[in-house]
């Protein structure tokens, strides 16, 4: 049998026949890598990654993909940003978010000024942010700061651990 993941139903669908010459599956092949074969007991392990979970019961294998890869929270205190998070900043004073120390290309997070007390994105050694036609100062002395309530940005990592780009924004940020 040949399987293909259906993102609408969040299931593996049988897309054709094949394998085994009998009643069993002899190999499974994904869209990357090579085919895998059952172990000596006829078992094949299918393991989810990130937010994807896989569960089996009887003859049914269910792969669950969350409807949103972003989790959202309201924050009032300084913290290190976590990728695939959205932050509504609502502190009594400015809230500082520090870029993640470890990041991969495509890692993303969003920041929205909900309370009007501003937010600032801080950086560590070697890190910088590209915003429109500007670049923050490389390292811990560089930053990006909101100016008014409603200012928001979406940042995505372009070079692992170091280079972040603002790919969407509302408002005009202060670049240091």
Residue 137 CA from chain centroid, whole number:
25
The dihedrals phi and psi of 30, each to the nearest 5 degrees, come to -90, -170
Q: Name the domain count of the chain.
A: 2
Expressed as residue numbers, the domain containing 158 is 71-175
Residue 167: C-alpha distances to residues 51, 132, 173 (Å): 23, 9, 13
**C-alpha distances out from residue 81 to 53, 86, 117, 148, Å:** 24, 9, 18, 20
Q: For 108, what's the count of Cα atoms within 13 Å in the CB-facing half-sphere?
A: 12
Q: For residue 19, is pLDDT > 60?
A: no
CB 98 within 8 A of CB 81: yes
CATH code for the domain of 117? 2.60.120.640
Share of the chain above pLDDT 70, in %: 80
* pLDDT score at 46: 79
**Are 56 and 79 members of one domain?**
no
Whether the predicted model's global pTM rises above the 0.85 cut: no
pLDDT tens digits along 123-138 = 999 999 999 999 999 9
pLDDT tens for 95-119 read: 999 999 999 999 999 999 998 889 9
**In this structure, which long-range contacts are made by residues 12-19, counting pairs with CB atoms below 8 Å and at least 24 apart in sequence?**
12/61, 12/63
**What is the residue-averaged pLDDT of the chain?**
84
More confident residue, 17 or 29: 29
Residue owning tokens 């792969």: 63
What's the pLDDT band for 158 if we cut at 50, 70, 90?
very high
Same domain, 16 and 79: no
Same domain, 96 and 169: yes
pLDDT tier at 20, thresholds 50, 70, 90: very low
pLDDT in tens, 48-89: 776 677 887 776 777 777 656 678 999 999 999 999 999 999
Supply the pLDDT for residue 23. Answer: 54
Of 32, 66, 100, which residue sits at a domain end? 66
Indicate the pLDDT class of residue 121, thresholds 50, 70 and 90: very high
Which residues are bridge partners to 143 per DSSP?
Answer: 122
Domain boundary among 40, 66, 92: 66
Decide which of 17, 38, 66 is a domain's last residue: 66
Residue 22, classed as helix, strand or coil, is coil
pLDDT (0 to 100) of residue 9: 63
């Amino acid at each position: 049998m040949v399987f293909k993941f259906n993102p609408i139903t969040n299931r593996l669908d049988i897309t054709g026949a094949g394998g085994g010459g009998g009643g069993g599956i002899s190999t499974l092949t994904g869209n990357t890598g090579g085919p895998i074969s059952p172990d000596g007991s006829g078992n094949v392990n299918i393991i989810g990654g990130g937010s994807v979970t896989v569960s089996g019961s009887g003859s049914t294998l269910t792969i669950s993909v969350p409807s949103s890869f972003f989790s959202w929270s309201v924050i009032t205190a300084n913290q290190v940003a976590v990728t695939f998070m959205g932050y509504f900043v609502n502190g009594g004073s400015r809230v500082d978010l520090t870029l993640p120390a470890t990041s991969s290309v495509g890692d993303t997070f969003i920041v929205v000024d909900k309370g009007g007390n501003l937010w600032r994105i801080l950086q560590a050694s070697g890190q910088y942010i590209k915003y429109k036609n500007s670049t923050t100062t490389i390292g811990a002395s560089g930053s990006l700061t909101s100016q008014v309530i409603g200012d928001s940005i979406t940042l995505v990592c372009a070079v692992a651990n170091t280079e972040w780009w603002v790919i969407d924004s509302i408002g005009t940020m202060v670049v240091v």
